[in-house]
C-alpha cells in the first residue's frame, strides 16, 4: 500500500460554466424548439374547448377534485387511467427509440431542464454579456456594477420562474378565474404553495444548478448507455482528422498537423463544460452547439466542416481506416429501432382503438350478497343489485333500466317510480334495483338464473348491458 502526503479531496467544488454565444444550424434548431415547447407549456391552459354547460371549457385540465382529466375532446375517468399509463409507456419507448437512433436528442433539445437552462443562459447573456464578460464579472469584486447586474439577472430569472410555476397551476383549475384569484390574493393556498415551490425549483435548477442536475440528479445519463451502440448517431470528434492538434501559425503549416487548431471554441460553447474531443462522455447532452462552433471555425480557416459532427462510432472507425461511412438510413434502421418503433406503434394503435370503442354510457352491477335473496309475503323472490350508472355526457341524461332473460323477472328502482333514472352530467350515479321473480316462476326456484341488465339513454337510444345472476330459493 502506498500513500501520498496530500490525499486528493473526496469532494469537488462545482466549476462554473460560462457558455459562449454561438450561431449555426443546431443553435437555430434549439431556438425553434425552445419557442415551441415553452409556447405549448405557457399557452395550453388558456385554450378553451366547449363541452356543454355542465363541464369545464378548458381544453387541457386535470381536475383532481372531480377526478377527471380533460384533453380537448377526450375525457378520462379515474378507471380509464390506463390511457395515461399507455401514454407514459409510449413516451418511454419513444425515448428509447430516439436515444438508440440519435443519442440524447431529448436531453439536448427538448428536456425541460435544457430548455429552461438555455432560457436562463440567454437572459444571463443579455444582462451580463458574453462568456468573457461573464467570467470577468464572476471574478470581479462585489461593487455596485456587479451588484446591479446580478440583481437584474436574478429578478428576470425569478419572473421567468414565477411564470413557470404559475403556468403549472393553471393546468389544474380554470385558468382565467385562477389568474384573477391569484392577483387579488383569494386563490387557494395550495396554488400559492405550488407556485412558490416551482418558482424556487425553476430558479435553482435553471439558474444555479444547471448541468449539475443532468450529471448528478438525472438517472437518464446513466441509463442511456444501454440504449446506445456503435450505430447510434451521436456527437463525435473526428480524431483521425483533428490530431495532432496545434495552434495555427502562419507559414509553419506542416503536413503532420491535424485540422484541430485547439481554439477551444467547442469547449467554450458547451453548456455542460466538457471537451467533446475526449470522446463521448456521460455529461454530453448532444445539443450540437460544439458542432456549430467548430464548423464556424473550420470555415474561417478554410478547412472542411464536420471535424466535430453527428456521427456513429462505427463511422468514426471506418473513416479512420479509410473506408466509406455507412449511409444514415442503415444506421437508423436496425432491429433495435424497428422493435422500439413497432412496440410504440402497437401501443399507440391499441390506445386509439380503445378510445374509439369507449362507450359514453356504462354501468356496473354489484349483486347484493347479504342476503342472496329475500322472500316476500306472497312468496315472491327478490334479489337486490347495486347498479352504478355512468353518464359521460356534459348534460343530465334519462336512462331507462330493463332486464332481459326471457323469464318473468320484474324490476323496481329504490326511491324512483318506474324504471327511469335521471343520471346527472358527467357522473357515476348509484341506484339500488330490486328484481322480483313471482313465487311460481322458474327463477324463484332455480339455484341460479342468468339474466341481463340493460340501460338505454333515452336521448339517443345508446345502450349498454351487464350480465349477472338471479339467486332463487333452490327448491
Partner 1 sequence: MSKKTQDKHEVETTGHSWDGIEEYNNPLPRWWVWVFYATIVWGIWYTIAYPAWPMLKGATAGYLGFSTRADVAADIAAVEEQNAALTTELASIDLTTLADNAELHQFAINGGAAVFRANCSQCHGSGAAGAKGYPNLLDNDWLWGGSIEDIAFTVTHGIRNDQSGDARWVEMPAFGDILEEGEIDAVVNHVLSISGQEADATLAAAGETVFLDNCASCHGDAGEGNRDFGAPTLNDAIWLYGGDFDTLKETVTKARFGVMPAWSEEFRPGVGLTAAEINAVAAYVHQLGGGE
| Shortest reach from residue 241's CB to partner 1, in Å | 15
- In terms of phi and psi (left: phi > 0; alpha: psi -120 to 50; beta: otherwise), the region of 457 is beta
Which is nearer to partner 1, 7 or 302 (by Cβ)? Answer: 7
Cα–Cα separations (whole angstroms), residue 375 to 410, 444, 473:
15, 9, 8
| Residues between 265 and 304 that touch partner 1 (CB under 8 A) | 267, 274-275, 277-278, 281
> Residue 114, exposed/middle/buried by CB under 10 A (0-12, 13-18, 19+)?
buried
| Shortest reach from residue 7's CB to partner 1, in Å | 6
List the x/- string, 104-123, binding to partner 1 by CB under 8 A: --------------------
For partner 1, the binding residue among 354, 375, 420, 458 (CB under 8 A) is: 375
What are the residues facing 449 on neighbouring strands?
Answer: 470
For partner 1, the binding residue among 46, 71, 434, 454 (CB under 8 A) is: 434
Which is nearer to partner 1, 204 or 339 (by Cβ)? Answer: 204
How far apart are alpha carbons 473 and 113 in whole angstroms? 67
What are the residues facing 465 on neighbouring strands?
Answer: 454
| Shortest reach from residue 13's CB to partner 1, in Å | 5
| Shortest reach from residue 202's CB to partner 1, in Å | 18
Under the binding rule (CB under 8 A), the answer on residue 321 touching partner 1 is: no
Residues 6+ apart with CB under 8 A from 275: 266, 267
| Shortest reach from residue 24's CB to partner 1, in Å | 23
**Contact present, 316 and 325 (Cβ < 8 Å):** no
Phi and psi dihedrals of 267, rounded to 5? Answer: -75, -40
Which is nearer to partner 1, 276 or 361 (by Cβ)? Answer: 276
Under the binding rule (CB under 8 A), the answer on residue 384 touching partner 1 is: yes
Within 13 Å of residue 45, how many CA atoms lie on the same side as its CB?
Answer: 22
**Contact present, 124 and 21 (Cβ < 8 Å):** no
Total binding residues toward partner 1, as defined by CB under 8 A: 41
| Shortest reach from residue 428's CB to partner 1, in Å | 16
Under the binding rule (CB under 8 A), the answer on residue 2 touching partner 1 is: yes
Stretch binding partner 1 (CB under 8 A), from 351-359, 374-382, 389-397, 422-430: 374-382
List the x/- string, 403-432, binding to partner 1 by CB under 8 A: -----------xx----------------x
List the x/- string, 352-371, binding to partner 1 by CB under 8 A: ----------------xxxx
How far apart are alpha carbons 472 and 445 in whole angstroms? 5
| Residues between 199 and 228 that touch partner 1 (CB under 8 A) | 212, 216
Kind and range of the H or E element at 313? helix 313-320
Angle separating helix axes 289-300 and 25-43, nearest 10 degrees: 150
Stretch binding partner 1 (CB under 8 A), from 170-178, 242-250, 348-356, 446-454: 242-250
Under the binding rule (CB under 8 A), the answer on residue 7 touching partner 1 is: yes
Q: What is the DSSP letter of 207?
A: I
For partner 1, the binding residue among 304, 379, 398, 424 (CB under 8 A) is: 379
C-alpha cell read off for 333: 434502421
**Sheet of 68-71: strands edge to edge?**
60-63, 68-71, 74-76
Stretch binding partner 1 (CB under 8 A), from 1-9, 133-141, 331-339, 457-465: 1-9
N-term to C-term CA, the chain: 90
For partner 1, the binding residue among 305, 382, 388, 466 (CB under 8 A) is: 382
Kind and range of the H or E element at 390? strand 381-391
Under the binding rule (CB under 8 A), the answer on residue 252 touching partner 1 is: no
| Residues between 175 and 204 that touch partner 1 (CB under 8 A) | none
Phi and psi dihedrals of 311, rounded to 5? Answer: -155, 155
| Residues between 58 and 97 that touch partner 1 (CB under 8 A) | none
Q: From the CB of residue 391, how many other CB atoms can be counted at a distance below 10 Å?
A: 24
User: Where along the sequence are the contacts to partner 1 (CB under 8 A)?
Assistant: 1-4, 7-14, 212, 216, 244-246, 262, 267, 274-275, 277-278, 281, 368-371, 374-379, 382, 384, 414-415, 432, 434, 439
Amino acid at each position: 500500500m502506498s500513500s501520498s502526503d496530500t490525499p486528493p479531496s473526496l469532494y469537488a467544488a462545482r466549476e462554473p460554466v460560462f457558455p459562449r454565444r454561438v450561431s449555426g444550424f443546431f443553435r437555430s434548431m434549439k431556438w425553434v424548439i425552445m419557442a415551441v415547447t415553452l409556447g405549448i407549456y405557457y399557452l395550453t391552459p388558456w385554450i378553451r374547448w366547449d363541452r356543454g354547460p355542465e363541464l369545464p371549457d378548458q381544453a387541457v385540465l386535470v381536475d383532481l377534485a372531480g377526478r377527471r382529466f380533460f384533453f380537448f375532446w377526450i375525457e378520462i375517468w379515474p378507471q380509464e387511467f390506463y390511457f395515461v399509463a399507455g401514454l407514459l409507456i409510449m413516451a418511454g419507448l419513444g425515448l428509447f427509440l430516439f436515444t438508440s437512433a440519435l443519442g440524447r436528442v431529448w436531453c439536448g433539445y427538448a428536456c425541460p431542464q435544457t430548455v429552461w437552462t438555455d432560457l436562463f443562459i440567454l437572459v444571463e447573456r443579455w444582462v451580463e454579456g458574453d462568456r468573457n464578460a461573464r467570467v470577468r464579472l464572476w471574478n470581479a469584486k462585489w461593487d455596485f456594477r456587479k451588484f446591479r447586474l446580478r440583481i437584474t439577472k436574478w429578478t428576470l430569472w425569478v419572473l421567468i420562474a414565477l411564470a413557470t410555476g404559475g403556468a403549472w397551476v393553471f393546468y389544474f383549475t380554470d385558468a382565467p378565474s385562477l389568474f384573477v384569484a391569484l392577483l387579488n390574493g383569494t386563490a387557494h393556498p395550495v396554488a400559492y404553495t405550488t407556485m412558490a415551490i416551482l418558482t424556487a425549483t425553476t430558479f435553482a435548477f435553471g439558474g444555479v444548478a444547471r448541468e449539475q442536475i443532468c450529471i448528478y440528479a438525472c438517472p437518464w445519463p446513466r441509463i442511456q448507455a444501454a440504449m446506445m451502440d456503435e450505430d447510434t448517431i451521436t456527437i463525435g470528434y473526428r480524431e483521425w482528422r483533428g490530431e495532432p492538434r496545434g495552434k495555427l501559425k502562419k507559414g509553419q503549416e506542416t503536413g503532420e498537423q491535424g485540422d484541430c487548431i485547439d481554439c477551444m471554441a467547442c469547449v467554450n460553447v458547451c453548456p455542460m463544460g466538457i471537451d467533446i474531443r475526449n470522446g463521448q462522455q456521460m455529461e454530453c447532452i448532444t445539443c450540437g452547439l460544439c458542432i456549430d462552433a467548430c464548423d464556424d471555425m473550420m470555415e474561417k480557416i478554410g478547412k472542411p466542416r464536420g471535424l466535430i459532427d453527428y456521427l456513429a462510432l462505427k463511422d468514426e472507425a471506418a473513416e479512420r481506416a479509410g473506408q466509406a461511412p455507412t449511409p444514415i438510413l442503415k444506421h437508423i434502421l436496425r432491429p433495435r429501432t424497428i422493435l422500439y418503433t413497432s412496440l410504440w406503434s402497437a401501443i399507440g394503435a391499441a390506445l386509439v382503438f380503445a378510445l374509439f370503442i369507449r362507450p359514453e354510457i356504462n354501468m356496473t352491477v354489484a349483486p347484493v350478497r347479504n342476503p342472496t335473496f329475500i322472500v316476500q309475503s306472497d312468496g315472491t323472490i327478490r334479489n337486490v343489485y347495486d347498479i352504478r350508472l355512468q353518464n359521460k355526457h356534459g348534460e343530465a341524461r334519462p336512462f331507462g333500466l330493463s332486464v332481459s332473460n326471457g323469464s318473468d323477472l320484474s324490476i323496481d328502482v329504490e326511491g324512483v317510480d318506474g324504471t327511469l333514472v335521471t343520471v346527472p352530467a358527467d357522473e357515476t350515479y348509484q341506484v339500488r334495483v330490486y328484481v322480483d321473480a313471482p313465487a311460481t316462476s322458474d327463477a324463484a326456484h332455480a339455484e341460479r338464473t342468468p339474466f341481463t341488465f340493460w340501460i338505454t339513454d333515452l336521448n339517443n337510444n345508446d345502450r349498454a348491458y351487464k350480465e349477472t345472476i338471479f339467486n332463487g330459493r333452490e327448491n
